[in-house]
Structure 1
Amino acid sequence: MAVTQQLARIPEGYLAACRQAAATSPDGDPRWDPPAYDVLDLDWAPALLKRVGEVAGLEEVHLDALRRATDGDTALDLGFLNTPPHAIAPFGGVPTGLDASQVARVSVLLGQIDMPVLLTALPADEGDAASLIGQVGSVSGGLRAYLLEHFNALRHFYLDAAQRHLHVVLWWD
């Protein structure tokens, strides 16, 4: 099983209920089970997307938004999601997240990024482009299509979360 980045759009009330469930459960079970339509699997794309932004000279404010969209923040109290035996990120770091106001800001900035233009900064040769951004192995459909698909999914995910005033929780699983 590959370790991939997961994101979930979550209302504050759901986080509070999970926090309470973990606190009252004898084994710390937060009863974490966000609906499938509010979960996004970004595969291994986050580091590659950030690297494309760096290589293409993306403005710092937009590069920071891309980093925050894929790295989260530690301001949300998510320790209850990192407690064995119910830790949601058994293969990765501590879960992170963005609150609704952070999500709204990231969503606006992601909407301003023109990923097709950024992808033109990569070498034309697929192998050279992959080497430059640190892609190991091949991806189905080609590197540029893979990156564009995952960036568009990320942008749409954050736009929907912002419109619904949701938090985003991130982890590697």
Structure 2
Amino acid sequence: MALLDRAVAGDPDGDVGFLDHVEVYDGFGPPPRLLTPSAVAAVARGLDAVDTGTLLAGLPASPDGAAVARGFDPGFDGDVRAHLAEHLDAMREFYREAARCGQCVVVRID
């Protein structure tokens, strides 16, 4: 889903030159990306519109199958659906609050 990719990876054209130093970006993996306040608001609205049940309905029925389908190791200890729903709710709350405050978001995968 493009919305979730944008929420966790940012926009590729954001100006994050101020982060281009070794303490923040060491050259391994993708560089940090920026979501402007308007992009944050759009992501927040999009996340609020996502139906969690529908999103998770496509997962395999078996816990191991669901874990593997989402990139976890087989034998993931716990309920994959509950884990993903909890993290989606946390992401929603984060983006909702950032949008409410008119903030930008810098996304960095470490």
Q: Which category of TM-score, normalised to the shorter sequence, fits these structures?
A: 0.7 to 0.9
Number of aligned positions between the proteins: 110
Mapping of residues 20-169 of structure 1, within 5 Å: 63-84=1-22, 86-88=23-25, 92-169=29-106
Q: Deviations over 1:123-149 (max 9, x none)?
A: 221011122233225545321111111
Structure with the largest fraction of strand: 1
Structure 1 window deviating more from structure 2 (116-125 vs 95-104): it is: 116-125
**Which of the pair has more CA radius of gyration?**
1
TM-score with structure 2 length normalisation? 0.85
Compute the TM-score of the two structures, normalised by the length of structure 1: 0.57
- Provide the rounded CA distance (Å) in 2 between the counterparts of 1:172 and 1:126: 27
Structure 1 portions without partners, runs of 5+: 1-62
- What's the CA shift for 1:67? 1.5
Indicate how the Cα distance of structure 1 residues 122 and 99 shifts in structure 2: closer, same or farther if over 3 A, else same.
same
Aligned Cα RMSD in Å?
Answer: 2.0
Identity of aligned residues (%): 38
Gaps of 5+ in 2: none
Which one-letter code corresponds to 1:70 in the other structure? V
